[in-house]
Amino acid sequence: MRDTVSDTNTEAHTDVDSDAATNVATETAPTETAAAEPAAEPAAIDPAETGFSALGLRPELLKALDDLGYEEPTPIQRETIPYLMAGKDLLGQAATGTGKTAAFALPALHLIDGRAASKPIALVLVPTRELAMQVSEAFFRYGKDLNAKCVPVYGGQPIFRQLQALDRGVHIVVGTPGRVIDHIGRGSLNLDGIKMVVLDEADEMLDMGFADDIESILESVPHAHQTVLFSATMPPRINSIAKRYQTDPVKINVVRGDTKASAGKVRQCAYVVQRNHKPAALGRILDIESPGGALVFCRTRTEVDQLTETMNARGYRAEALHGGMDQAQRDRVMSRLRDGTAELLVATDVAARGLDVDTLTHVVNYDVPSAPESYVHRIGRVGRAGREGVAITLAEPREQRLLANIERLTKQAITIEKVPSIADLRAAQLEQTVASIRESLAADDLDDFYPVLNALSGEANPQRIALAAIRLFHELAGNVVDETEIPDISHRMERRPDGGGASAGPGRPGSKPQRGNDRGGGDKGGTTGFVYISLGRAAGIRPGDLVGAIANETDLVGREIGPIKITEKFAVVGVPDRSVDKVIGALKLTTIKGKKPTVRRYTD
């Protein structure tokens, strides 16, 4: 805190075994700044309390978490929330997807204290439009019983909507740096009531060229407040911001050990699926895989119950397992799984702790695990003692970075595969019918069915009778395809140049990112094309505005954008040549600094 200065789905678990230990180191870092009024120390945790209730959160927040099915805080949440609720500045190092959205969102919502929405009490800065929407959705879910008002502000959306929402009153503002600067300049974002400022994905914001904007925003907060900074890495620029704008910050660092994926033979693959197609995709994948026993992991109890019902309707013998069940119910479920009565177990991480079933052949991540260590622990349940196993992950396009974290931790590639088509499903079902009939041909009692054949012989030849019997068997086995095609969006998950695994994004094994300048240049994965934009310095355009606009409106990241040249009247931006047309199309539909640019391919 200084007198002069300025998520996502969160998976709630700490499910880590001896092969995937998460060590949390906490220290208080000295700074060169003069301390404001010292914050209180974190309240002592009552050993009788467990889960989120031990963190001192408001009853309304605990109810929301319980309704969402979250059972236990992740390591980063357990370590940071008490300090944030005590008013401490905090510098947290944790990879994307470790649950840090809730780590800062819950303490920020705790500040509402029954007050009506007027001036914002918390400001959260994020690097991209997509993340702004995700974080604001998390605030809405956690704060629904507090009537929390959260407004996301970002480029690419008509600013008048944001002006109206801010004017109606707000508790929390989540925004990209460029658009936040715009609102501050317009006077539509009042910082007088700010008690907490959060920089989420700080290293990503710096890579995208937002350093000047961030410092300008931090300097604009007119009074002492709490400054919270989260970053996956800690380059010197991050430490420099911490020294200038934080007072005695508590440092939280999630340190991961040398974690290795399952020692058994586990085939790892991922399917890219939109959320509304996930249940159908899972059913189709399992139809083709034909697992001997499968364990499907979901994030919440509600999702477990819904998916179990869906899979039973599809013909699977599915059972649910989550923290809302008593021990007798759990025992019955496990008994059914072990004796083969159930073939599919749908569970949360917490409920599946200590689960060791020899009959499992497949583990399915219905969502990409937020913590990479959780992925390792999950797939360790198959492929034991040298046995073969299959680990399947259903990933949404926005979860590409979570897959990158897993690959970085396990040092293994996850192959991106296409969701089977209806034709693929039909072919697999026919193969299963052939296998079943081939097995039946070896039976000793076929002669017992000659009376049936003799009764039908006068009505059709033996070949047609055989086809009719095969059709009847095929349908009785449930092999009737009455589905719609699931869109193939595997191309949305970029591939490595060698064609294997998910995309070699920043920090992935095998990627060699080139250091761009502070204006966003970086690894293009090929030749560079250039985009002409009819706005320049005269329109107040800065590199961060261009990087932010392109990153918000396309699937490019900061390291893929650059070099950037800005003249008085126009700008030229380098992007991967394969993406030039996509960038042009996206920018034609948006505004930059409130102005509609002319955009075209740039040639010398």
Q: How far is CA 61 from CA 38, 56, 67, 70, 125, in A?
A: 26, 10, 10, 11, 22
Answer yes or no: is 96 within a domain.
Answer: yes
Domain total in the chain: 4
Residue range(s) defining the domain that contains residue 554:
528-601
- 48 with 187, same domain: the answer is yes
17 assigned to some structural domain: no
402 and 443 in one domain? no
Residues 458 and 311 in one domain: no
- 3-class SS of residue 543: helix
What pLDDT, in 10s, does the model give residues 540-590?
A: 888 878 887 888 788 787 778 888 888 888 999 989 988 999 999 889 888
> At 311, phi and psi to the nearest 5?
-70, -35
* End-to-end CA gap in the chain: 50
% of the chain exceeding 90 in pLDDT: 29
| Structure confidence at residue 17 as a pLDDT band (50, 70, 90) | very low
CB 74 within 8 A of CB 14: yes
Print the SS3 string covering 561-601: CCCEEECCCCEEEEEEHHHHHHHHHHHHCCCECCECCCEEE
Percent of all residues in the chain with a pLDDT value above 70, rounded to a whole number: 79
Could you tell me how many residues make up the chain? 604
Half-sphere exposure of 292 (CA within 13 A, CB side): 12
Mean pLDDT, the chain, as a whole number? 79
Residue 80's pLDDT band (cuts 50, 70, 90)? very high
271 sits in which H/E element: strand 265-272
- Domain-embedded: residue 507: no
13 in a structural domain: no
Sign of CA dihedral 411, 412, 418, 419: negative
Q: Is residue 4 part of a domain?
A: no
Domain co-membership, 158 together with 296: no
- Is 213:185 a contact under the CB 8 Å cutoff? no
Residues 299 and 245 in one domain: no
Residue 361 shares a structural domain with residue 225: no
Residue 30, pLDDT score? 36
More confident residue, 62 or 237: 62
List the Cα angle 151/153/158 in 5-degree steps.
110
Closest CA to 93 of 240, 256, 316: 256
Q: What is the pLDDT of residues 173-225, one digit of tens each?
A: 999 999 999 999 999 999 999 999 999 988 878 877 888 899 999 999 988 89
- The identity of residue 104, as a single letter, is F
pLDDT band at 384, cuts 50/70/90?
A: low
Which CATH number belongs to the domain containing residue 585 in this structure? Answer: 3.30.70.330
Task: Assess whether pLDDT exceeds 60 at residue 516.
Answer: no
pLDDT band at 94 (very low <50, low <70, confident <90, very high): confident
Asked if 183 and 286 sit in the same domain, the reply is no
Residue 426 lies in a domain: no
Instruction: Compute φ and ψ for 281, nearest 5 degrees.
Output: -65, -40
Question: Are residues 297 and 445 located together in one domain of the fold?
Answer: no
104-153 pLDDT per residue, tens? 999 999 999 777 788 999 999 998 877 888 899 999 999 999 999 999 99
